Structure 1
Amino acid sequence: MTKHQLIGAEVSLYTGKLRCYLQYKNIPFDEVVASGEVYRDTIIPRTGVRYIPVLITDDDQALQDTTEIIDYLERRYVEAPVYPSTPFQKLIALLLEVYGDEWLVIPAMHYRWNIEENKDFAVAEFGRTSVPDASAEEQLIVGKKMSGPFAGSLPVLGVSDTNTKAIETSYLGLLKELDRHFKATPFLMGTRPCIGDFGLIGPLYAHLYRDPYSGRLMQEQAPNVVAWVNRMINPDPLTGDFLPDDQVPETLMPVLQRMFREQGPVIRSTLDRVAEWASVNADGKAEQEISRAIGSHTFTVEGAEAERLVFPYCQWMWQRPYDCYQGMNEENRTTVERRLAVLPGALELLRHPVTQRVVRKNNRLLLG
């Protein structure tokens, strides 16, 4: 029997997300380490980009981007869907995927590359992954070279000397909120993981649990989050249910309030900047590519202001919960809006028009 191939690495945030999904769904796969040779011979020629994970399907399609891969597999493997069918649960699950995928990369990257113990561990991991058959000395040299662009991306994400303490304060607050939630509920929405769980597991496992310093921090500060991580990486496949009657636990409200307080203004700014970029740069051609970053904007975490690049991909992810909300019938929308009232800024952002869509095609981001 031909299996899917997951090409990735233990050190990779998004590989962790996809691996957990494949294991929970009981989808047969073999894992292939994304060595330098695999990048050269498979990843780059098959996808046109240098990102992992990549899924080579059992019918030899090469798929890149965890969200698109999960959606493809959900259509094929319909048992125990990870998208709730009820409107409020589905919206919240999509929002938390955006939060995990696009915002928790900030503390994940800070703790990995600004904490010396974590940095040394990650560099060694990069070396072992890139040249698995080389000596330890050679792996260290390669690891430093391969990890350089990742360590150098901190300013791009908005991590600077002026806000690292604020990032840590926010992250510790999030751990406390999640710990309270997972003490009462095994996953975000009940006894089955949803797409939001898979969005959160990437940063919370691959960086913040596996890296030694931040792993100890999680053990000390949030044992119930550690227990959730272990449920995610060692799942009981295809088991569990979402809560009945479209319930979303109250314990998730502080997490969502944090999301809209910190990430919400960045999402809104991104929508506006994408529209501005298109108005200046669109030339009327079909399938016009948009740059990976289009300028910079300021953001605030725990009172500390910093600057980061504007990423149109963030809008592509945001369009998922936005479309979920906009597509609701009147009855469902009225109910959902009433329940969102406890989240300052949520309704304003979900109502903010997306005037310039972005789409993904052949692993490129295009104006829609």
Structure 2
Amino acid sequence: MLEPNGSDTAPMNDVHTPSPALRLYGADISYFSAKVRAYLRWKGLPFEEVHANRDVYRHTIIPRIGFPVIPVVHTPEGAWLQDSTDIIDTLESQHPDPSIQPPGAVQQLVARLLELLGDEWLLLPAMHYRWHHNRDWAIQAFGALAMPEGSEAEQRSAGERSAGPFAQAAELLGAEPAMHAAVEQAYLGLLQELNTHFEQHPFALGAHASVADFGLYGPLYAHLYRDPASGAIMKQRAPAVVRWIERLSAAPVQPLAAFPATGQIPETLLPILARQMREQLPDLTETAHRFQAWLTLNPDEPVPRVIGKHAFRLEGQTGQRITRPYALWMLQRARETYLATRGDGRVAADQLLDQVGGDAFRRFEDPPPLRRDGMSVALVSA
């Protein structure tokens, strides 16, 4: 099933052979495979993609990673990379040009915030629309992935076996029946704000793609554009978002433009960031409180992927969703960028946060430093 940690898990004839190119194990329907695929194309890094069917999971991914997950990247040097964030960070360190990291302090902060928004918060509408509006299509798509040579009936049966956990994940992330209208209202509001932005700018921070674009691309392409019902909504309401998706899906055909030398960000991002601060930051604050309480009661235990549920609010409605420490690791990346900013850069960052109602982010009480640990996180000191 889809894991809200930079990876997608899926149902269990590839046998690995050495390749001079990167090898991406993924799937067209996978949220985080889309993020990595777009990055590889944009960077111009040669790669081949292997669709992760049952045999690929059984014979390649599980023996090397330890659990059934995508995306996975195998490098020509023999390294096996897992988790979309770690994959991109690792490859970016090895192939820094053209960089997806903007130079300005405020740009860097905004890029990390939008990565956080795409990777973590947009899981909610992405899973909701897939499993509550595109369920039959998704069942057939998952069946075709698991059994590419199977009959339509066999594929349907395989897809049905996968559908239960995925649909359950949508509700666990907060898309309970009573919250459906709120989830859709919030998503459609964001979609309109993104459309206004992309009407004026080709990418999130202007004329050059950044980590912000790839974080947003995962949910907006793999679930909300490709799936037919949600795709029809996007094409009708947000044609500029569709053009951005198509632009990011292809390798650049023109010389890359530079990030704005001034370090400024487009004003059209302000409503998007304001939405993030009023929707996602309270949820992350509650997650941090629950996680800190768990650490106090379980000081020597491995951190689980889920530590119960907590209340969250969206469009005036209150629901319940699972408490996932992994989200705090993604937030930590943005917080580290902010805390490392000094002088005029910190002043500019604070001015931006003031504009978008970001006081909760600025004053966030950070839990102990975290590192990614397989499908969950661990304390850095552990």
Is TM-score (shorter-chain normalized) higher than 0.5?
Answer: yes
Instruction: Give the distance between the partners of 1:13 and 1:239, measured in 2 at CA.
Output: 26
Task: Rate the CA distance shift 1:59–1:226 in 2: closer, same or farther, 3 A.
Answer: same
Which residue matches 2:23?
A: 5
Which residue matches 1:322?
A: 335
Amino acid at match of 2:313: T
Amino acid at match of 1:210: R
Amino acid at match of 2:120: E
Q: CA RMSD in A?
A: 1.3
Amino acid at match of 1:367: L
Which residue matches 1:184?
A: 200
Matched, 1:334 2:352: no
1:215-259 CA-to-partner distances (Å, cap 9, x unmatched) read: 111010000000001001113167232222011011001011111
Amino acid at match of 2:252: D
Q: Please state whether the residue corresponding to 2:178 is helix, strand or coil.
A: coil
Amino acid at match of 1:73: L
Which residue matches 2:12?
A: none
Within-5 A mapping of 1:119-268 = 119-236=135-252, 239-268=256-285
Which residue matches 1:303?
A: 316
Amino acid at match of 2:320: E
Which residue matches 2:106?
A: 88
1:172-201 CA-to-partner distances (Å, cap 9, x unmatched) read: 111110111000000011111111110100
| Equivalent residue in structure 2 for 1:280, among 287, 297, 302 | 297
Tell me how far 1:272 sits from its aligned partner: 1.7
Which residue matches 1:351?
A: 363
Task: Rate the CA distance shift 1:274–1:152 in 2: closer, same or farther, 3 A.
Answer: same
Which residue matches 1:360?
A: 372
Instruction: Give the distance between the partners of 1:30 and 1:108, measured in 2 at CA.
Output: 26
Q: TM-score, normalised by structure 2?
A: 0.92
Q: Any stretches of 5+ residues in structure 1 without a counterpart?
A: none
Instruction: Give the distance between the partners of 2:277 and 2:360, measured in 1 at CA.
Output: 10
Amino acid at match of 2:146: S
Tell me how far 1:29 sits from its aligned partner: 0.6
Q: Please state whether the residue corresponding to 1:126 is helix, strand or coil.
A: helix
CA contact (8 A) 1:47 1:363 kept: no
Amino acid at match of 1:300: R
Matched, 1:25 2:34: no
Instruction: Give the distance between the partners of 2:163 and 2:257, measured in 1 at CA.
Output: 38
Instruction: Give the distance between the partners of 1:68 and 1:247, measured in 2 at CA.
Output: 27
Q: Please state whether the residue corresponding to 2:256 is helix, strand or coil.
A: coil
Tell me how far 1:363 sits from its aligned partner: 5.3
Amino acid at match of 2:196: R
Q: Any stretches of 5+ residues in structure 2 without a counterpart?
A: 1-18
Q: Please state whether the residue corresponding to 1:55 is helix, strand or coil.
A: strand
Instruction: Give the distance between the partners of 2:58 and 2:149, measured in 1 at CA.
Output: 16
Matched, 1:71 2:89: yes
CA contact (8 A) 1:48 1:363 kept: no
Amino acid at match of 1:335: A
Instruction: Give the distance between the partners of 1:347 and 1:297, measured in 2 at CA.
Output: 22
Q: Please state whether the residue corresponding to 1:85 is helix, strand or coil.
A: coil
Q: Number of paired residues?
A: 361
Amino acid at match of 1:261: R
Instruction: Give the distance between the partners of 1:355 and 1:163, measured in 2 at CA.
Output: 29
Amino acid at match of 2:249: I
1:6-31 CA-to-partner distances (Å, cap 9, x unmatched) read: 00100111111100000000011100
Instruction: Give the distance between the partners of 2:99 and 2:376, measured in 1 at CA.
Output: 27
Q: TM-score, normalised by structure 1?
A: 0.95
CA contact (8 A) 1:103 1:263 kept: yes
After TM superposition, the structure 1 stretch with the greater mean CA deviation from structure 2, 355-364 or 24-33, is 355-364
Instruction: Give the distance between the partners of 2:310 and 2:263, measured in 1 at CA.
Output: 37
Q: Please state whether the residue corresponding to 2:48 is helix, strand or coil.
A: strand
Tell me how far 1:364 sits from its aligned partner: 4.7
Tell me how far 1:270 sits from its aligned partner: 1.4
